[in-house]
Amino acid sequence: MSDIIIDRLMAAFDRAAELAFRRSAQSIGRRSALSGIGKLLVGGALLPVLPFDRSGQAHAQGASKPDANEASCDYWRYCALDGFLCSCCGGSVSSCPPGAEPSKVTWVGTCHNPVDGKDYLVSYNDCCGKTTCGRCLCNGNVGERPGYRMGVHNDINWCMANTQSMYHCTVSVLVGVADKK
Amino acid sequence: MSDIIIDRLMAAFDRAAELAFRRSAQSIGRRSALSGIGKLLVGGALLPVLPFDRSGQAHAQGASKPDANEASCDYWRYCALDGFLCSCCGGSVSSCPPGAEPSKVTWVGTCHNPVDGKDYLVSYNDCCGKTTCGRCLCNGNVGERPGYRMGVHNDINWCMANTQSMYHCTVSVLVGVADKK
Amino acid sequence: MRSSSFISLLGLALMLRPCAAAEFKPEATSSSTIPATMNRVYVADPALPHMVDGRVYVLDASDLSLKGMLEAGFAGMMVAAPDKHRVYVATTFYERLTRGKRTDVIQVFDDQTLKVIDEIPILTRRAQALGYRSLFQRSSDGRLLFIQNATPATSVSIVDPDSKRQLEAPAPGCFGIYPALSTPLRFSTLCGDGTVGTYTITANLRSADRKVSGKLFDAGADPLFIHAEHDQDSYIFLSFKGKLLRASLEGERATAIETLDIIPADATGWAPGGYQPFAVDAKAKIAYILMHSDDKDGAHKNPSAEIWSYDIGNKRLLARSPAANLTSLTLSAVDPTVLFAINPVDQKIERLTIDATGKVSRSADIKLGETAALVEAPR
Amino acid sequence: MRSSSFISLLGLALMLRPCAAAEFKPEATSSSTIPATMNRVYVADPALPHMVDGRVYVLDASDLSLKGMLEAGFAGMMVAAPDKHRVYVATTFYERLTRGKRTDVIQVFDDQTLKVIDEIPILTRRAQALGYRSLFQRSSDGRLLFIQNATPATSVSIVDPDSKRQLEAPAPGCFGIYPALSTPLRFSTLCGDGTVGTYTITANLRSADRKVSGKLFDAGADPLFIHAEHDQDSYIFLSFKGKLLRASLEGERATAIETLDIIPADATGWAPGGYQPFAVDAKAKIAYILMHSDDKDGAHKNPSAEIWSYDIGNKRLLARSPAANLTSLTLSAVDPTVLFAINPVDQKIERLTIDATGKVSRSADIKLGETAALVEAPR
């Protein structure tokens, strides 16, 4: 199931890491080129990094379909979320509270949606640059692995690559349907 | 009872304040002269400021007569203590936890000791320079007054005059027997 | 290896991208903002167990849902400027969290993005105190900010947030700041000898002239709370024993207008209490007061058992309503039938509704905060 | 007015000094210190609800009484140096508490005064992670400190706290630091492809040579926890499914010595779990492991139901002891019959005693902390 995707991503991560190790001296300054094309490959997973003019829209969408369970740690999307739910902190299930910015890099979970029976890839973006929210602490660990598989590790501050790296809370963003093969 | 002392001290405080207001331009730099004689008049009350070589002694004395109630907010000395008990934080009823320094200025309470039936003047020294302890929060307000009677006000950080002014916890130091007249 | 090294993986990862693209649209993440039109409740929580990390919570007044928070640092103070869509937070930072160089600033937050958009350095003398309203105030025209200092000697910093010019006015033996309602360059302060000091500031912020009133209260026998309210032209103070002092702070010297005793003969032992123990409807001239029974020395911060509604104009007690465990109370600036309160016992923020007879009843609450002490509903 | 103005009151106040001087001796206040001889337990608590204000609690090992605390800042890491009477805390400060310039340092605390006596600036790349032991370590001779970095690309900073010289060794795809037990200039790290990378550092801290082992574990099918223990000459790792991997990290390349399955056939569904899920008595070669039943994907941090005592030398399970709600466990460095544990469910720190048969039972506890994750008893 999703293990296959994760394993393939991890293997790719390791290879890239090895490469990077060999040429670490030359590796500075390429991030801007990467983000320029609107994609960021992070911790082994590819996440769409959308221009901020779509943000309001995404939030309005979330607000118009409130999910009764999204303030509960048992909500299906949170299967690998370790942190404070942004939906308890002034944000929503996928939107950061005011003043906080989504993390540029994330960890990824694969969670089963009981409604449609599908498994989804969930990007857990930390929201960054404000003090820790402190409400609705959840600790899901499905598919979570130690930091040597960084892209699925959740005991670390994923605001680490943001200019303002203080951790505020965590959102759960659906970024793909898991390959069933 | 103790109100008389407090009132007299307060009147003196006000007169001193008025004086100071009139000559505030010349008032800088006298603190060292004051502390040089081993006394500090603070917030309207006179407190002995003892050389630190007596500190160990004072602590040892406290440790050899443990008081069963000193971790409880109901302990008689805490009648006007608003803060975290240092006796819950690695210190004792009158000694700061390791790394924290007693405040140079304090607020004063007048508390009734049920054992000997006397009223004591208690100096509530905040302990300063370490992060807030967070254990055993007490909120006694006997004789407490708003900040226009600063020497008996407890909703303020009494580490304010220390070089390192972070608040850690509060000790209760007996500095006098209240005049019964 | 820097994160830029991940670029080498880009082509490969595109290949691995999950399929089912036809039916699935990836979601986007974003940052929320608070609608300009939302009525706000601000709850200042010094978070005593972790004092370096105080915060001001921003709630939707309609349902008390949490909409965001402002960093308030160590013993921060807040005052909202709804007319400017700003919230000012005066606080202290240390170079190393809890040690090292002390820096005091006013952080200027945008009240929709909740981001810091400006910072005004101030003297490192501000009172690191519980965030009483009267310790951080604005002039009546909103142009100046007044900050209570204590070293423990007391003074007031007068700050122009636009030009960042500042003036320090000594205020020995006095505490609390009460801006004149009609004269932007004037404020008063309560003094321990029972007088009120009134300061008139020059327009260029060069100096402040101080005039002292006669003795308006007895700080020994029946002290005034430093929280104060006002009606349309006078300030209203409340004493520990339940007397309302109405005073004019508009002239060069403060004067008392009247004193009202809210405690009827059959209610001996009742007294006001809390950190923000009353609110006043300025138009209707009704005071809502947090009251507890069995009063004694040291009980002046006790949580409420009832809210009393007192008609200042007609000098009579309108209603007594059960309301347990409240220590701070404020009236909505946009709806005078709504109060907001802090319940520190259950760690809740409560919304209360006032009916036509002055009776108060709870209508909503949210579990929030640790040691919240000030609640404001300014817009 | 400055506080020096109080000087004018001195004469007056002496006059007012309370009488009864004959019978009453005023008390003095002071600062405590921790006796050098006290056996210490350190509990690292990131205080997640207020992450800027993490702390390391210092307890007396004999009765678990709290003796003091160290400031650990935002996602701080600690390692004790009992031989030097120091505790190192690597952490991050921001210029304005939660925003502005990031500064990463190692704070050097004296372990008796609990004061910061030195500060070592480090790269602003350290992993702001839960404080696992393997993310901040010392070389076997105590001369060097090793810090895990993540940006999220991973590397290790090698720091000489005396000279403050530093070296960064890239460690892509790898995490956790395991200093060689006999070679001070060598450490290893676990890698996502199942290998172990071993670094040999030049004495001048100019460079580090890396050699990769064969595949020693399967990070997909049965990952290793990054917490590791050691006996007298080898490291002991634990897998999610309950296998102990004994490996030598002493040579240029890591090698596996043996793999031991601690789960007997009649205990299906049991598995280890937690943040610091096991401790090893290096001399007796006995592992104490936090175990839960009904294991499934995602349960690897679950609190314990039992502690299992496993004899590594004789490859047999010695005892199973009930021990609810623990997620971190450590063995006293001075008394191998005593364990300390974190119980995050009841927010307690517990002391446990081991009897001659390997059975473990609770002997003391203290209510302490919010989200503690690492416990150490190094002296």
Catalytic residue among A126, A155, A158, A179: A126
Owner of token pair 């965001």: C68
Whether residue C36 is contained in a domain is answered as no
D95 vs C93: CB contact, 8 Å cut-off? yes
Min Cα–Cα distance to chain C from D108, Å: 13
Q: How far apart are the first and last CA of chain D?
A: 51
User: What is the distance between the alpha carbons of residues D135 and D227, in angstroms, rounded to a whole number?
Assistant: 9
> How many B-D residue pairs are in contact by the CB < 8 A criterion?
174
CB atoms within 10 A of CB D101: 9
Whether residue D154 is contained in a domain is answered as no
Closest D-chain CA to A10: D192
Whether residue C306 is contained in a domain is answered as yes
Closest D-chain CA to C53: D50
Q: What angle do CA A134, A137, A143 make, to 5 degrees?
A: 140
Whether residue C104 is contained in a domain is answered as no
Reply yes or no on whether the pLDDT at D86 is more than 50.
yes
**What is the residue-wise DSSP string for D109-135?**
EETTT--EEEEEEE-TTB--B---GGG
Q: What is the pLDDT of residues C151-196, one digit of tens each?
A: 999 999 999 999 999 999 999 999 999 999 999 999 999 999 999 9
Whether residue A13 is contained in a domain is answered as no
Q: Residue D365 in contact with residue D347, Cβ under 8 Å?
A: no
Whether residue D301 is contained in a domain is answered as yes
Q: What angle do CA A151, A154, A158 make, to 5 degrees?
A: 75
Q: What is the pLDDT of residues D125-136, one digit of tens each?
A: 999 999 999 999
Q: Which amino acid is at D125?
A: R
Min Cα–Cα distance to chain C from D155, Å: 7
Q: What is the mean pLDDT of residues A21-31?
A: 30
C19 vs A24: CB contact, 8 Å cut-off? no
In this structure, of A69-78, D54-63, D231-240, the range with the lowest mean pLDDT score is A69-78
CB atoms within 10 A of CB D57: 24
Whether residue A123 is contained in a domain is answered as yes
Query: How far is C-alpha B48 from the geometric centre of its chain's CA atoms?
Result: 11
D28 vs B50: CB contact, 8 Å cut-off? yes
Backbone torsions φ then ψ of B7, nearest 5 degrees: -60, -45
Reply yes or no on whether the pLDDT at C337 is more than 60.
yes
Min Cα–Cα distance to chain A from D190, Å: 7
D30 in contact with A at a CB cutoff of 8 Å?
Answer: no
For chain C, percent of residues with pLDDT exceeding 70: 94
Considering only CA atoms, give the Rg of chain B: 16
A150 in contact with D at a CB cutoff of 8 Å?
Answer: yes
Q: For residue D132, what are the contacts with CB-CB under 8 A and spacing of at least 6?
A: A155, D176, D226, D227, D275, D276, D373, D374
Q: How is residue D124 written in tokens? A: 């602003």
Owner of token pair 């050699």: D211
Residues in chain D, total: 379
Q: For residue D237, what are the contacts with CB-CB under 8 A and spacing of at least 6?
A: D190, D217, D224, D225, D228, D244, D245, D246, D247
A30 in contact with C at a CB cutoff of 8 Å?
Answer: yes
Q: Chain C partners of B160 at a C-beta cutoff of 8 Å?
A: 127-128, 150-152
pLDDT at A69: 76
Whether residue A18 is contained in a domain is answered as no
Min Cα–Cα distance to chain B from D12, Å: 8
Torsion sign across C-alpha atoms B107, B112, B114, B120: positive
B99 vs D113: CB contact, 8 Å cut-off? yes
D367 in contact with C at a CB cutoff of 8 Å?
Answer: no
B96 vs D113: CB contact, 8 Å cut-off? no
Q: Residue B97: which CATH number?
A: 2.60.30.10
Q: For residue C82, what are the contacts with CB-CB under 8 A and spacing of at least 6?
A: C40, C111, C333, C378, C379
> Active-site positions of B?
107, 126
Closest D-chain CA to A147: D175
Reply yes or no on whether the pLDDT at A27 is more than 50.
no
Reply yes or no on whether the pLDDT at B50 is more than 70.
no
C299 in contact with D at a CB cutoff of 8 Å?
Answer: no
The conformational region for residue D160 under phi > 0 = left, psi -120 to 50 = alpha, else beta, is beta
Q: What is the DSSP letter of D303?
A: P
Reply yes or no on whether the pLDDT at C19 is more than 60.
no
Short-list D305, D306, D300, D130, CA closest to D223 = D300
pLDDT at B178: 87
Q: What is the pLDDT of residues A124-162, one digit of tens each?
A: 999 999 999 999 999 999 999 999 999 999 999 999 999
Q: What is the largest CA-CA distance in chain D?
A: 85
The whole domain housing B57 covers 47-177
Min Cα–Cα distance to chain C from A47, Å: 9
Count of domains in chain B? 1
Closest A-chain CA to C59: A90
CA distances, D202 to each of A46, B73, D125, D162 (Å): 38, 58, 22, 17
Q: What is the pLDDT of residues D279-338, one digit of tens each?
A: 999 999 999 999 999 999 999 999 999 999 999 999 999 999 999 999 999 999 999 999
pLDDT at A178: 87
Closest B-chain CA to D33: B98
Closest B-chain CA to C373: B155
C112 in contact with A at a CB cutoff of 8 Å?
Answer: yes
What does pTM read for this prediction?
A: 0.88
Q: Residue B94 in contact with residue B170, Cβ under 8 Å?
A: no
- Reported in sequence order, the residue ranges of B70-181 that DSSP labels E, i.e. its strands, are 82-84, 95-96, 101-102, 107-112, 119-128, 137-139, 167-177
- When scoring C3, C29, C38, C349 by the number of chain A Cβ atoms within 10 A, the one with the most, hence best to mutate, is C29
Owner of token pair 């972790």: C50
User: What is the distance between the alpha carbons of residues C377 and C59, in angstroms, rounded to a whole number?
Assistant: 9
For chain B, percent of residues with pLDDT exceeding 70: 61
Q: What is the mean pLDDT of residues A23-44?
A: 28
Count of domains in chain C? 1
Q: In which band, very low, low, confident or very high, does the pLDDT at A180 lie, cut at 50, 70 and 90?
A: low
For chain D positions 341-370, those within 8 Å of chain B (CB to CB) are 368
Reply yes or no on whether the pLDDT at A105 is more than 80.
yes
For chain C positions 154-173, those within 8 Å of chain D (CB to CB) are 154-155, 170, 172
Whether residue B8 is contained in a domain is answered as no
C2 vs A121: CB contact, 8 Å cut-off? no
For chain B positions 155-174, those within 8 Å of chain C (CB to CB) are 155-161, 164-167
Whether residue B144 is contained in a domain is answered as yes
Q: In which band, very low, low, confident or very high, does the pLDDT at A55 lie, cut at 50, 70 and 90?
A: very low
Q: What is the pLDDT of residues C254-283, one digit of tens each?
A: 999 999 999 999 999 999 999 999 999 999
Q: How far apart are the first and last CA of chain A?
A: 6
Q: For residue D156, what are the contacts with CB-CB under 8 A and spacing of at least 6?
A: D146, D147, D148, D149, D168, D169, D171, D177, D187, D189, D199
3-state secondary structure C101-129: EEEEEEEEEECCCCCEEEEEEECCCECCE
Give yes or no: A126 in active site. Answer: yes
Q: What is the pLDDT of residues D154-211, one digit of tens each?
A: 999 999 999 999 999 999 999 999 999 999 999 999 999 999 999 999 999 999 999 9
User: What is the distance between the alpha carbons of residues C57 and D116, in angstroms, rounded to a whole number?
Assistant: 33
**Residue C104: how many CA atoms within 13 Å on its side-chain side?**
19
**What is the residue-wise DSSP string for D320-375?**
EEE-TT--EEEE-SS-TTEEEEEETTTTEEEEEEE-TTS-EEEEEEEE--SS--EE
Whether residue B140 is contained in a domain is answered as yes
CA distances, A27 to each of A16, A74, B29, C3, C6 (Å): 12, 41, 56, 9, 10
Q: What is the pLDDT of residues C98-152, one digit of tens each?
A: 999 999 999 999 999 999 999 999 999 999 999 999 999 999 999 999 999 999 9
B35 in contact with D at a CB cutoff of 8 Å?
Answer: no
User: What is the distance between the alpha carbons of residues D150 and B78, in angstroms, rounded to a whole number?
Assistant: 48
Q: Residue C272 in contact with residue C228, Cβ under 8 Å?
A: no
Chains A and D touch (3+ CB pairs under 8 A): yes
Q: Residue A144 in contact with residue D298, Cβ under 8 Å?
A: yes
Whether residue A74 is contained in a domain is answered as yes
Backbone torsions φ then ψ of C288, nearest 5 degrees: -115, 120
Closest in D152, D193, D300 to A150, CB measured: D152
pLDDT at C296: 96
H or E segment to which residue B31 belongs: helix B31-36
**Residue C192: how many CA atoms within 13 Å on its side-chain side?**
31
Whether residue D319 is contained in a domain is answered as yes
CB atoms within 10 A of CB C296: 10
- When scoring D3, D45, D53 by the number of chain C Cβ atoms within 10 A, the one with the most, hence best to mutate, is D53
Q: For residue C96, what are the contacts with CB-CB under 8 A and spacing of at least 6?
A: D93, D107, D116, D119
Min Cα–Cα distance to chain C from D244, Å: 31
Reply yes or no on whether the pLDDT at D92 is more than 90.
yes
Q: Residue D320: which CATH number?
A: 2.130.10.10
Q: Chain B partners of C176 at a C-beta cutoff of 8 Å?
A: 146-148
C335 in contact with D at a CB cutoff of 8 Å?
Answer: no
A4 in contact with D at a CB cutoff of 8 Å?
Answer: no
Reported ipTM exceeds the 0.95 cut: no
User: What is the distance between the alpha carbons of residues D223 and A143, in angstroms, rounded to a whole number?
Assistant: 11
The runs of H, that is alpha helices, within chain D are 10-16
The whole domain housing D329 covers 262-379
Q: To the nearest whole number, what is the mean pLDDT of chain D?
A: 94
User: What is the distance between the alpha carbons of residues D28 and B54, in angstroms, rounded to a whole number?
Assistant: 8
Closest in C1, C95, C154 to D153, CB measured: C1
CA distances, A180 to each of A1, A120, C20 (Å): 5, 10, 10
User: What is the distance between the alpha carbons of residues D262 and D241, in angstroms, rounded to a whole number?
Assistant: 9
The conformational region for residue B43 under phi > 0 = left, psi -120 to 50 = alpha, else beta, is left
3-state SS class at D8: helix
pLDDT at B39: 29
User: What is the distance between the alpha carbons of residues D88 and D102, in angstroms, rounded to a whole number?
Assistant: 19
Q: For residue A8, what are the contacts with CB-CB under 8 A and spacing of at least 6?
A: C16
Q: What is the DSSP letter of B133?
A: -
Whether residue B20 is contained in a domain is answered as no
Q: What is the pLDDT of residues D227-237, one digit of tens each?
A: 999 999 999 99
Closest C-chain CA to D116: C99
Owner of token pair 């300014």: C378
User: What is the distance between the alpha carbons of residues D177 and D226, in angstroms, rounded to a whole number?
Assistant: 9
D204 in contact with B at a CB cutoff of 8 Å?
Answer: no
C123 in contact with D at a CB cutoff of 8 Å?
Answer: no
Q: How is residue B80 written in tokens? A: 């006007």
